[in-house]
Amino acid sequence: MGEVEVWDYLDGFDFSVDPHDWDKFDTNIEAEPLTRDILDDRARQMGCAPVQTLIKPAPFKAPRRIWSEPQMERLHLGQLPLMTRWPIILMEDDRLLTFSDFGNGQYEAGFVQCDGGWTIARAWTEGDPSIYTRHPDYWESANLERQLVACVLKKIDPDLEARFRRAEARHLRGPSLVVISVDGKDVDLPAMFAQRYCAGFSNIWLEDAYRRSFVTGYTDALAAMARDGRSTNDVGHAAQRERKKSQKSTGFDSAQRAGLADGAVTAAVEFRAGQVGTLTKRCLSE
């Protein structure tokens, strides 16, 4: 295999040991492990909020890598980065926790013993879209694995890097849907609007306004077609007018109008195709 681009996590890192020697590390294995108490003390000293574990754990397919005993010993020491873009990583028993540089929970992973060492049996990421925009499982799995390999073990794995680059390219082509939450209910946001939503708004209040208006636009359009006899073309034209108003406005008004338009178009597309999605079933049953 030819030369592989060095990972972004490792930019500027000066290796003190051979990065290809998988059971030798740059940290004294007798060092004190990173704990939640240490992080809380550090946060108090810096006047910051303590780290926050996952608010709404969302499971994803765990990476299948097998970790050796020396690697597990190193993972148990954790990672308190000096560079802000690196994640904070610690182990509590056989459960690994990672946090963003802002202190929000990013991943949790449960390790179990297996033939040849240890593996991750289950993994979770943050499912609250106001905190973290969920990526597809294949991306989350590769990203968790490379955080541990690059940031903690400080090793280079060309196969993992190539797999992550493929996942990144696949993700950038656009997800099939994004799951958003409104009043505790999960709503599927279709592909035609997923990229716009993933791009995000300037703050969580605009995201919330869009989410709520999306559901309102969807349910109102569905009622107009299923109960009032309006055609999908009628709904589409109304949505188009709302979209133009959104483009001419700003702030909450723009986010709300965009949500109304996108929700109405989603209902019209489903209705025309004779498909009843998860949100449609919920609306018809209420």
- The pLDDT of residue 282: 42
Helix (H) or strand (E) holding 198: helix 191-199
- The pLDDT of residue 20: 67
The answer to whether residue 156 scores a pLDDT higher than 90 is no
User: Could you tell me the pTM of the whole model?
Assistant: 0.57
The answer to whether residue 200 scores a pLDDT higher than 50 is yes
H helices then E strands: how many in the chain? 9, 7
Return the SS3 of 160: helix
Q: List, in order, residues 6 or more apart from 76 with CB less than 8 Å away.
A: 33, 91
**Which range in 15-24, 77-86, 151-160 is most confidently predicted, on average pLDDT?**
151-160
Over its C-alpha atoms, the chain yields an Rg (Å, rounded) of 23
AA identity, residue 226: A
The answer to whether residue 286 scores a pLDDT higher than 70 is no
Return the SS3 of 196: helix
User: Could you tell me the two tokens for 99?
Assistant: 């946090």
- The pLDDT of residue 153: 86
Q: What angle is formed at CA 61 by the lines to CA 65 and CA 176, rounded to 5 degrees? A: 130
Average pLDDT value over all residues in the chain = 76
Residues of the chain above pLDDT 70, percent: 72
Q: How confident is the model at residue 196 (pLDDT cuts 50, 70, 90)?
A: low
Q: How confident is the model at residue 68 (pLDDT cuts 50, 70, 90)?
A: very high
